[in-house]
Amino acid sequence: MATVNPIPCGPCGFRGITKDAERWCTRCEKGLCEDCENGHIKRKESSNHQLISIKDYHKTEKISISLFCKHHGKKLELFCKSHDTALCMVCIPSNHKTCSDVIPISEASSNAGESIALSDVDADIKGALHNVKQCIDNRKSATEKIKKQELAIKTMILEARRNINSHLDKLQDKLFRKLRLKSSEFISKHMKLIRKLESTELILNKLRKQTLHLKQFSSDLEVFLGTRQVNQSIRGEIETIKSDIVTSKNYELKVAIHTLIEKLSNEVTEFGKIRTSECTAELAFNEPKIDQAQIRISVPTLGNISNKRIQLVKTFQMKGKNKMDITGCVILPNGHLLMANSTNDNHLIEYSGKGEHIRDIVVSGKPFDIAVIGRYRICLSYSDAHFLDILGINTFNVKKRIRLKSVCYGVSYNAGRLYARNGYSTIQVMDLLGRHFETLKLSSDSVFNITTSKNRIYYTDYRTNIVHCCRFDGIELWQVKSESVSHYFGVTVDINLNVYVVGYRSNDLKIIQHDGKDSKKLLTKSEGLDRPQAVYFDKYTRILLICNEEGKVCDQHGENLEWFWKTHEEVLCVVCDPSKHKACSDIITISVNSANARQSSALFDLEGTIEGTLRNVKQCIKNRESAKKEIDKQEL
């Protein structure tokens, strides 16, 4: 229960006595104790003053009523009926000289508590409140009506879209079947000739070896006879392949899209039109107009990347006795760095933002990738286990395990859903409980790393060196192929939807513009990149984290490989010498043995001359393989 602040007694205060008041005089505006109250009532001049309890006085404190003139600061003592205004003594000569109906305010306020004016004010307030409530209810009802109309229209649009999609899917499948039939027929013809030519190639290679052996090991007579017999065999093979080559044909696949479908994609620019109507709301009460406040939302500018630069914050070497294979990394909400070490040690590695090792965290398998889920959880994929683990960030205990049908590689979290690179050339979409929503088909099976941002999915193909950008429904928006970057692995996206990818073999970091129309290198090996595999952009701190795969080390001892033992044809570390190879005398450094390896005689101990017939056969094989690929492209 709220306590009431005490009010001191006014008359006692004049006499230097501190005493709490029991009552309040509304005319004198003073507190009165019990003794002073009795004297106040008995005095003739104050006998008709209204007294109220201190509790009631505190209620009136909350009402903003001034008893003093706002112009002169004097007490309001008079009331002008003509102007319906309370006055102080100074107001009379300045503005109310000619007013004849000025009366004392005590007379005007007599029985004000029971006056009709106060009743009218009370009635006006009640009426206004009733009108406001009716207006609120009316506008809430109108809001709900708009929401229902929006939902109904969305349902109509989606139903129309489903019907169109269903019909187009049927037409597409029908055309695909016809295309597949013709493509298979032509490819079969090409493959038949390729097999014949490859068989001829094997025979010719065999004859070439026989000719070489004749030169090296046979007598003159055998060489003389053998040469003629080999020539006869070659002429027979030539005649056979000539007849096949002459009758060989090239094929071309084309398609003529139905004119109505072309019009749909080229001429139809809108799915429909949203029509609106408006009328005056029949409200019984009009509120005062209030200026509307506008909230300005800062939207990132999706500009070009020509001036994009990055600034180095920190570089450090991760320490470990055994081999490391860092395939995934994230920046946790607390600023710590978490790396997935995809080795048989089965652990994550946690570092501070300053590069200080915090701990190794044992997990349920070989971790491959990490996705941050809000402020308190992460999702972990394993390259040797058929499940995903959702872990708490503080304890790294498993909160939820999601079973899968096969191993999982890249994983990403976006708006309540997990996107996991799982299965054969697919991304599985599921919620945090493991409920499956859909399966997205990828363009290749050589995809490990994925990421998501807003309504897009990004993935890298390490074999083709292509970065793909798709919508959540799997429709590709763009793709970028790089000739200079080799083996794309890690991929991440910044707040402007610019894409960052690392090249494992080319040792570089590349940025791709949000629309896929431009790209450039930001970092190379000279800036410290050495077989980078993992990259992560933190959207809150705007820090880019890049992790190299660790350099080659000995699997047994964890030391650098420095020596080569000829006797055992084995590359070893310095610890291997005393442990297993004490008696070996032919020890050389690995740098000496590998010097000029590309120009060694071992690479050139092959037949120097290839017969013209063999070259022609190879050219024919390439030609037919090219024709087969062309059919594949035309079909695609």
Helix H or strand E segment including 106: helix 105-108
Structure confidence at residue 610 (pLDDT): 33
Q: Are 102 and 92 in contact (CB under 8 A)?
A: yes
Residues in contact with 195: Cβ distance below 8 Å, sequence separation at least 6, in sequence order: none
Q: Give me the percent of the chain exceeding a pLDDT of 70.
A: 79
The answer to whether domain 1-65 and domain 70-110 are alike in fold is: yes
Number of H helices, E strands in the chain: 11, 31
CA dihedral of residues 6, 12, 17, 20 (deg, nearest 10): -20
CATH fold for the domain made of 326-548: Neuraminidase (2.120.10)
Amino acid in position 23: R
Encoding tokens for residue 628? 């087969």
Residue 270: alpha-carbon gap to chain centroid: 29
What does the alpha-carbon distance between residue 219 and residue 181 come to, in Å, rounded to a whole number?
Answer: 57
Host H or E run for residue 236: helix 220-247
Give the residue from 110, 69, 112 showing the smallest Cα distance to 92.
69
Give tens-digit pLDDT for 293-351: 222 222 234 556 777 777 777 788 887 777 888 999 999 988 899 999 988 888 999 99
Euclidean distance between CA atoms 476 and 76, whole angstroms:
80
Mean pLDDT of the chain: 78
Nearest partner of 387 among 372, 373, 367, judged by Cα: 367
What is the predicted pLDDT for the residue at 402? 92
Topology (CATH level 3) of domain 1-65: Double Stranded RNA Binding Domain (3.30.160)
Alpha carbons within 13 angstroms on the beta-carbon side of residue 562 total 9
Backbone phi, then psi, for 188, in 5-degree steps? Answer: -60, -40
pLDDT at 573: 52
Q: Between 17 and 610, where is the model more confident?
A: 17
| pLDDT at 246 (0 to 100) | 78
Q: Domain ranges in the chain?
A: 1-65, 70-110, 124-266, 326-548, 561-604
Indicate if the pLDDT at residue 129 is higher than 90. Answer: no
What type of residue is 110? Answer: S
Residue 253, Ramachandran bin (φ over 0: left; ψ between -120 and 50: alpha; else beta): beta
CA pair distance 421, 440, nearest whole angstrom? 10
70-110 topology per CATH: Double Stranded RNA Binding Domain (3.30.160)
- Average pLDDT for 563-574: 52
Gap between the Cα atoms of 118 and 158, Å rounded: 60
| pLDDT tier at 595, thresholds 50, 70, 90 | very low
Alpha-carbon gap, residue 418 to 435, rounded angstroms = 10
